[in-house]
Amino acid sequence: MRFLVVGAGSWGTAFSRLLADRDHDVTLACRDPEQARAIVETRRNPRYLPEVDLSGIDATSLADAPEGDLFVVAVPSRAFAEVVRALPGDVPLLSLVKGLEPTTGSRLSTVDSQQSTVNSRQRTVAVLSGPNIAQEIAAGLPSAAVIASEDADLAVRLQHAITSLAFRVYVNPDVVGVELCAAAKNVIALAAGGVDGLDLGDNSKAALITRGLAEMARLGEAAGARPETFAGLAGMGDLIVTCWSRHGRNRHAGELIAQGLSPEEAAARIGQTVEGLTTAPVLRALSHRLDVELPITEGVCAVLSGQSLTDLISRLMGRQPTEE
């Protein structure tokens, strides 16, 4: 297949290498023409995962991106709508983005269909999620993921196109659940990083992650997702790795904030997109619309607005006892 991967960050770079290793024709589309030129000349991405050999992968600027058999979008959630709007034709799209549309709170798989109606186009969309740390995938370490789409044939076709001995892909029909897991886990990871930053121990972190998973599942149930999705790769799997991995940006951002940095300073220190910072208030607004209680998400939003993390922990621990 001919894949156009839009977004030359860590995940887009690692996924391009994964696709090329499956003998697909891969072009990596960069927002910056200079970055594309450097990749073509050096076979390395100078900004993200520079140790990864990109031989066999073409690169171009987003403005000059060709149409392929499938677009793969790996950009920050805040840029998703604009990028998709600019993609030519009506070929299918695979989203690797783990967030919600910031201005509307919509799931990202619905953004293109909304725009397609205006533009008289109908583009089928699939989403990929799971415990997918880009550095490990780029290194060829064994990983797994799940693909969800309302087009079952597209999901299965992508499953067979992507699956390898190093990257096992499962199919899940629950698009709602997979996308909500992908967005919500980043918010919980901010809180888990706060536990690390205050050195509160493994018991605290395990309890927070477990209650975070319950929080995610409540939101999913209210939105019409399948409960089992939250016990799978997109839910529990991605939540665990995001909250524990030393590579996890959201966990690291939470750690830095707990140590006294502002959210803006933490994001600048990390130097890459920290989706949880964008997603937290959007997820909170969604929970209010669905009338679902998300105490950890509410707490993260309070800390991002300036509340003391120590005060938040006291408030969470002091909540009325209840059943699990």
Active site residues: 185
Q: CB under 8 Å to 24, separation ≥6 — which residues?
A: 1, 2, 3, 161
> Residue 104 carries which DSSP code?
T
Structure tokens at 34: 């200079």
Cα–chain center distance at 312:
26
End-to-end CA distance of the chain: 47
In order of 158, 204, 283, 317, the CA distances from 215 in angstroms are 30, 16, 11, 15
- Give the Cα separation of 16 and 267 in Å (integer): 25
Element containing residue 172 per DSSP (H, E): strand 167-172
CA dihedral 84, 88, 91, 96 (to 10 degrees): -30
Q: CB under 8 Å to 197, separation ≥6 — which residues?
A: 254, 255, 256, 257, 258, 259, 309
Cα–chain center distance at 246:
16
Q: Where do we find the tokens 């990257």?
A: 167
CA-only gyration radius of the chain, Å: 19
- Give the Cα separation of 212 and 232 in Å (integer): 15
Pair 169, 233: CB distance under 8 Å: no
